[in-house]
A = this chain, B = another copy of it.
Amino acid sequence: MAPRVSPLAPAAFPDLPRVAGVRLATAACGVRYAGRDDVCLIELAPGTAVAGVLTQSHTASAPVLWCRRALKGGRGRAIVVNSGNANAFTGSVGLASVQRVVETTAGLLAAKKTEIFVASTGVIGERLADEKITAALRGLKSSLHENAWQGAAKAIMTTDTFPKGATRGAEIGGVPVTINGIAKGSGMIAPDMATMLSFVTTDAKIPAKTLQALLARGAADSFNSITVDSDTSTSDTLLLCATGQTKHKRVSGLGDPLLKGFRAALFDLLRDLAHQLVRDGEGASKFVTISVSGAVSKRAARRIGLSIANSPLVKTAIAGEDPNWGRIVMAVGKAGEKADRDRLAIRIGGIEVARHGLVVPGYDETPVARHMKEPEITFEVDVGVGRGAATVWTCDLTHGYIDINADYRS
């Protein structure tokens, strides 16, 4: 499969500045791929606070199980990531691989084991050749660099067609801080090439507990509001690391007004990275924004939005540039959340299509059909029963998705 770059990709990888306390290195270890870097070491300064959001899968990978444990400490000195093998469904053998990578890294950095985070993405059910990773760690350590962001974003790619990165600046009490993030993922998950991974770092000083609360909220409106194919990875991992290298006023907790700008910048960056995943959705030709309002709660609105976003019939209609609002009605109906059929209103591309549960009088499909031909599509749906609102993002379902996923392993 020639990795043609997604038509929805950003023009270029953004220019990521240094983040004090963060250094990166990559190497070609041949875990699975030949001729490309496939292992990445992210070094974090002593005292770095770490927060994480991990897959809810009941068959989570060995690295996810380790991260879940390590996150209890709330401190990190390094993240070791490999692509090509997910170390999932590998039982005790997989846990032993994680242990060896963690021990070697901790030894090299004079860190505690629980300060070392790991993430793996690639084929499932095969032993991870961890010896190739541990053998490379010393070399990786000696080549650590503050400006290796794009290389890191490339080393963690699997079926991705472009590397994903984002940066934002903010101020905490008048002192500038930086947030950088990288991500990979192309199906919401293709478990062969398992997963969504994202690593976000900042030089701000934020206590681990506050960092975790921030990340949980930020993830809900970004990574947890996107879907490519409704499938959930065994390996989804999002880590947020705050090195505390920049001196600013002390942040007391989640409600501290000092955090306002930082929070907005962080959420914006998370949304940017999440959107890049959708833009690299397998076979995607359209980027779709679905805003649901009038639900009984924000949670209900998100579920309705995801029901629309995950419907194969809605997704194929988008691929066919067909303003098929009947399929949106169907998807609202099957979401299992309260909706009033006789108050339902739908806009496509800002144009009112249905109102009070009926197609609008004198409906003219022409401008709506024109909108459907654009690369960015918007649906607005009001379900007429409350004030809950949420936005989700997805892509269309095309022949490209079938090509990629029906033929991948063979």
Given contacts A58-B337, A231-B334, contact A313 B402 (CB under 8 A): no
A329 to B94, CA, bound (A): 15
B232 touches A316 (CB 8 A): no
Residues of B within 8 A of A56 (CB): 334, 336
A310 to B334, CA, bound (A): 14
Q: List 7 A-B contacts (CB under 8 A).
A: A55-B333, A56-B334, A58-B333, A59-B330, A192-B326, A231-B334, A316-B402
Given contacts A125-B329, A405-B313, contact A58 B358 (CB under 8 A): no
Please tell me which one of the listed residues B58, B397, B405 contacts residue A402 in the complex, with CB atoms under 8 A apart.
B397
A192 to B326, CA, bound (A): 7
* A191 CB-CB contact with B under 8 Å: yes
Chain A interface: which size bin? 35 or more
* A212 CB-CB contact with B under 8 Å: no
Interface string of A257-295 (1 = CB under 8 A from B): 000000000000000000000000000000000000000
Q: Point out which of A329, A330, A339 has the most chain B C-beta atoms below 10 A from its C-beta.
A: A330
Given contacts A317-B405, A354-B89, A406-B316, contact A60 B333 (CB under 8 A): yes
Interface residues of A in 89-116 (CB under 8 A from B): 89-91, 93
A312 touches B91 (CB 8 A): no
Q: Point out which of A55, A357, A405 has the most chain B C-beta atoms below 10 A from its C-beta.
A: A405
A109 to B405, CA, bound (A): 55
Nearest B-chain residue to A59, judged by Cβ: B333
* A141 CB-CB contact with B under 8 Å: no
B406 touches A329 (CB 8 A): no
A124 touches B231 (CB 8 A): no
A58 touches B324 (CB 8 A): no
B398 touches A58 (CB 8 A): no
B322 touches A410 (CB 8 A): yes
Nearest B-chain residue to A124, judged by Cβ: B326
Residues of B within 8 A of A54 (CB): none
B358 touches A89 (CB 8 A): yes
Q: In the assembled complex, how far is the CB of residue A230 from the closest CB belonging to chain B, in whole angstroms? A: 7
Interface residues of A in 35-55 (CB under 8 A from B): 55
A335 touches B58 (CB 8 A): yes
Residues of B within 8 A of A231 (CB): 311-313, 327, 330-331, 334
A402 touches B398 (CB 8 A): yes
A233 to B312, CA, bound (A): 13
Residues of B within 8 A of A410 (CB): 320, 322
Interface residues of A in 367-410 (CB under 8 A from B): 397-399, 401-402, 405-410
A55 to B333, CA, bound (A): 10
Residues of B within 8 A of A189 (CB): 313, 330
A89 touches B326 (CB 8 A): yes
* A240 CB-CB contact with B under 8 Å: no
Q: In the assembled complex, how far is the CB of residue A253 from the closest CB belonging to chain B, in whole angstroms? A: 32
Residues of B within 8 A of A337 (CB): 58
